[in-house]
Amino acid sequence: MKDQFLVSGGARLQGSVKVDGAKNSVLKLMAAALLAEGTTTLTNCPEILDVPLMQKVLEGLGCEVTVDGGAVSITTPSELSSDADFDAVRQFRASVCVLGPLTARCGRAKVALPGGDAIGSRPLDMHQSGLEKMGATTRIEHGAVVAEVDRLRGAHIKLDFPSVGATENIVTAAVLADGVTTLDNAAREPEIMDLCDMLMSMGAQIDGAGSSTLTITGVDKLCPTTHEVVGDRIVAGTWAYAAVMTQGDITVGGISPRHLHLPLEKLKVAGAHIETYENGFRAKMDRRPDAVDYQTLPFPGFPTDLQPMAIGLSVIANGTSVITENVFESRFRFVDELLRLGADAQVDGHHVVIRGIDKLSSTHVWSSDIRAGAGLVLAGLVADEQTVVHDVYHIDRGYPHFVENLNRLGANVQRVSVEEPEIY
């Protein structure tokens, strides 16, 4: 049995919604708890499928993990296993973030090459290179990346690309290394800042958090802490685009609008009314949106995780849009599903040209990743009849209570379980 979403078109979303902690942060914070013996507690955690998956990874390493609604407590023992369970790790990409903490704590890490969303290749070259500069040896062996070192030492590391994952693994390794590590061209995403804030509350010495150059002075020991997870800017951005696509009016809380500056500016250009507050914003639209061009870039650029929402808005906008994907090469798989809905779009390399139409035509569509799944639901809201979204387990990995929140805002979305045939 598999779950589907039945999405009725024609709804105008209106009301308020509060976002929980960020998926792209909570999993990395859970991994960072490996760095300190004792109990670390995370609050404001999202109730998503990936949290119990990371729980399973940490339990396989010897931790005791308790998940209670929006709180996660992780008790890390003095002696950890250095081998991350293959079956748990391969289910989602974020599991690779245990590589840095395990190498720092144990002097060895063996982490199965992870699975996750079908959005393109995400190699571990920069992760391995960073650890090697700190004195570790790394190799790919039997489907796993293995890192070994007697003692990590500080180094000067420059990333070829501001990779979020590589930044996280290098920082979580460097906090317990001997000496000073300087990381240039580091990722600047709010989730990186959140990780640095938690590490500093554990006793780490990090300068430059939020900038492209991080200076980490290693310490002998970290202590457990309690930390509130930063709000999920991608979920918040999804609600903003949902408001504009449905010509609705949604107030979103639990997020700093600074973390969504460019996406909200793009909505203003499309004709939306945007009000920002200290811990939220309001997105209101009373007409068909205008076409806007987008190109995805690392933060503070337009986030690749909101690219499906930008495309979803563009297909029903007034005019022609050009969307350029600069981060993941397979993100345009989403466009194939929109073509089923009648969208006028043409992919050319890492660009897609979209000519907006008044309304989409409902049919069956399939999610290929978390954000594409959410984007298809939003597309279904602006289709003529009922759209059936398949493979919605992807959406459950990143959007807590998605159907319930949609329906509270005025949508008509049903979750149903059906027996789906395997397709070969």
**What residue has token string 């289709």?**
383
d(CA 5, CA 376): 10
- Rounded to 5°, angle at Cα 48 from 248 and 408: 30
Tokens of 128: 């391995």
- Which of 20, 83, 117, 232 is the catalytic position? 117
Q: Is 44 annotated as a binding residue?
A: no
Q: Is 90 annotated as a binding residue?
A: no
Q: Is 305 annotated as a binding residue?
A: yes
d(CA 424, CA 43): 42
DSSP string, 279-329: TEEEEE--SPPBP--EEB-STTSB-GGGHHHHHHHHTTSBSEEEEE--S-T
Buried b (16+ CB within 10 A) or exposed e, 236-262: bbbbbbbbbbbbbbbbbebbbbebbeb
391 catalytic? Reply is no
Q: Is 93 annotated as a binding residue?
A: yes
DSSP-H helix ranges across 148-213: 164-174, 190-201
Burial grade of 421 (CB within 10 A; 0-12, 13-18, 19 or more) = exposed
Q: Is 153 annotated as a binding residue?
A: no
Q: Which residues contact 251 (CB under 8 A, 6 or more apart)?
A: 15, 16, 17, 280, 281, 282
Residues making up the annotated binding site for UDP-N-acetyl-alpha-D-glucosamine are 93, 305, 327
Residues making up the annotated binding site are 23-24, 93, 305, 327
Query: What are the catalytic residues?
Result: 117
Residues making up the annotated binding site for phosphoenolpyruvate are 23-24
